[in-house]
Structure 1
Amino acid sequence: MALGITPRSVRRTTATAALLAASVSPLLPATASTASAASTAVTARYVALGDSYASGAGLPEPTDPECSRSGLNYPSVLARSYGSRSLRDVTCGGATTRDLWHRQGAKAPQLRALSRNTTLVTVTMGGNDIGFSSIIGTCLSAARSDPAGSPCQAEYAKSGHDELTRRIRALSPRITAMLADVRRRSPRATVMLVGYPALLPESGAACPSVVPFAKGDFPYLRDTVKRLNGMLRQQARRSGAIYVDTYTPTIGHDMCAGDARFVEPLVVAAGVAPAHPNQQGQRVMASLVAERIDRLRH
């Protein structure tokens, strides 16, 4: 059942604001030497890591077109709602866990944004590791051969074992390593692993006009996202991080939900990122992160 969350401004609370803004050091005098000492990489208190689901791909107000990063993404909404200027947002479209430690094109490894002064870290990562984009392409192609069946599921199970389940299992130790490295670099930080929202109807119902998958593949792909989120939740718990469930509260706001959707469908207007959170979805994700922080502090 959907929880009835609607887009809204993130609630201001003393606890959350303290993480985002109150601990920021006073500004240093504007001299050349102090400007270097107060570089963003050193003084950032809130650091956002992640892929295009965190960067805000397809949204207006671009802040880094190379990374499909928007000033309307959930890290920016969260920081801005508390008047914080401490956000260091290094989210980048196409990022995998490898890009946490290695360059993504010209972009520095994301983990370099962390420091011992960091007090809040959010991470949305893993979808590209299991091949979100290629999965969509494979399932779209497969649907043409058997629109009423589950040809994509059959394709990924042709070895006798489900390939997507294998990919999720293979990703698990990389999430563990990432969370351990975040903790090592930023021992004072509250670390929040933000999951993926509902992409397809919970009922398994199809909407081929806007998401042209085969009818039987809808529940298969829905359950794949659930398995990915389940692994992320488990790794957060084991590592002492906080898992933020964005799936359950967004049930009923998936790609098939028409005007109520928080995620854009595959058949979209030009300039919109298919299968990604829209502006409403990013606001809801920001709200869910804020609410999770509030529960920790009270």
Structure 2
Amino acid sequence: MRTRRFLLTTVLAALAMIASSLTAAAATRSFQRYVALGDSYTAGPLIPLPRLDPLGCGRSTANYPALLAQALHVRSYTDASCSGADTTHMTTAQDVLLGRNRPQFDALRTDTDLVTLGIGGNDYGVFGAAIGTCPGLRASDPTGNPCERHFTVDGVDTLKAAIARIQPNVTEVLKGIHQRSPGAKVLVIGYPRIAPARGYCPDVLPFANGDYAWLNSVEVALNHALAKAAAEDGDASYVDTFGPSLGHDACAPRGVAWINGKDLDLLAAADYHPFRTGMAGVAAVTLSTLR
């Protein structure tokens, strides 16, 4: 009981700090028309409560764009994000369960003054390959790095090689945003960490021990590609969520973790995807960038 009470107190304190950050940051900048673009790490599948436009996109009413829009008191807010989206779905429609998501760029207008973009992890199947392959390889070498070895061909890490090709895709997306919304403040939102910096939790994150460091290095490479795209664009800013999510990885206690582990939770989060606490954390970091 004492442990449970301590955990509850810790969670409430963390949420209070996030709320304080949201309130303080919101008072520093005024935006009127906000558009959110992105994939599932933006949409927030299974975080209560889901939107229905379309249901297959898994957009939550409590994802970071929703929290950001609320904190900024924007006049107009459009969330075009969709689970499974990659950079091609900025300009092409995306077929999803029970519907179709329009090209995400359709949400942009000439008077849009704030755009957040969380995209890239699904390009070339990078995210899906990692979470779809690595857990099944743990049993073959629990303390080794079987997944890293699996994706290394002739000395080349094929996932990181694919990530190097993502950067120009995101650069092109940023160009398209500026063309459609030339006056908008544009933020490229990075991906929060999934694996801890040290330690293991195979019951939650069933990667081989040696693959934890490799998974972190893959995420670092992906976020570096996003940061580089923003830097080369010159008119966009990168929001680092990997650093601030230290201690909030999938191995952290429930209520502290920003990211869910392997077990899908129909009332909280999809597997390997953000919880509401993660969305609140990303919203707070994003608002801090807007100061």
TM-score band w.r.t. shorter chain? 0.7 to 0.9
How big is the alpha-carbon RMSD for the aligned residues of Structure 1 and Structure 2? 1.5
Q: CA deviation at 1:144?
A: 2.0
The amino acid across from 1:288 in the alignment is V
User: Can you list the C-alpha shifts for 1:22-60, whole angstroms capped at 9, x where unaligned?
Assistant: xxxxxxxxxxxxxxxxxxxxxxx1000000100111201
Mean Cα deviation higher: 58-67 or 239-248: 58-67
**Equivalent residue in structure 1 for 2:105, among 91, 108, 111:** 111
Q: CA deviation at 1:127?
A: 1.0
Q: What is the TM-score when the length of structure 2 is the normalising length?
A: 0.87
Q: CA deviation at 1:143?
A: 1.2
User: Can you list the C-alpha shifts for 1:54-78, whole angstroms capped at 9, x where unaligned?
Assistant: 0111201111321000110000001
- The gaps in structure 1 that reach 5 residues or longer are 22-44
Q: CA deviation at 1:170?
A: 1.0
1:248 aligned counterpart, secondary structure: coil
**Equivalent residue in structure 2 for 1:90, among 75, 80, 90:** 80
Identify the residue that residue 28 of structure 1 maps to in structure 2.
Answer: none
**Equivalent residue in structure 2 for 1:263, among 256, 259, 271:** 259
- The gaps in structure 2 that reach 5 residues or longer are 1-12
Contact kept, 8 Å, 1:139 with 1:213, in 2: the verdict is yes
**Equivalent residue in structure 1 for 2:287, among 270, 285, 290:** 290
Identify the residue that residue 230 of structure 1 maps to in structure 2.
Answer: 224
Identify the residue that residue 213 of structure 1 maps to in structure 2.
Answer: 207
- The 5-angstrom pairing of residues 1-298 of structure 1 reads 6-7=14-15, 8-9=18-19, 10-12=22-24, 13-16=26-29, 18-19=30-31, 21=32, 45-64=33-52, 65-105=55-95, 106-129=100-123, 130-203=125-198, 205-240=199-234, 241-259=236-254, 260-271=256-267, 272-294=269-291
Q: What is the TM-score when the length of structure 1 is the normalising length?
A: 0.85
The amino acid across from 1:59 in the alignment is I
Contact kept, 8 Å, 2:126 with 2:163, in 1: the verdict is no
2:244 aligned counterpart, secondary structure: helix
Q: CA deviation at 1:133?
A: 2.1
Aligned residues: 264
User: Percent same amino acid among aligned pairs?
Assistant: 37
User: Can you list the C-alpha shifts for 1:150-173, whole angstroms capped at 9, x where unaligned?
Assistant: 110001003321001111111111
Contact kept, 8 Å, 2:46 with 2:265, in 1: the verdict is no
1:115 aligned counterpart, secondary structure: coil
The amino acid across from 1:262 in the alignment is W
1:11 aligned counterpart, secondary structure: helix
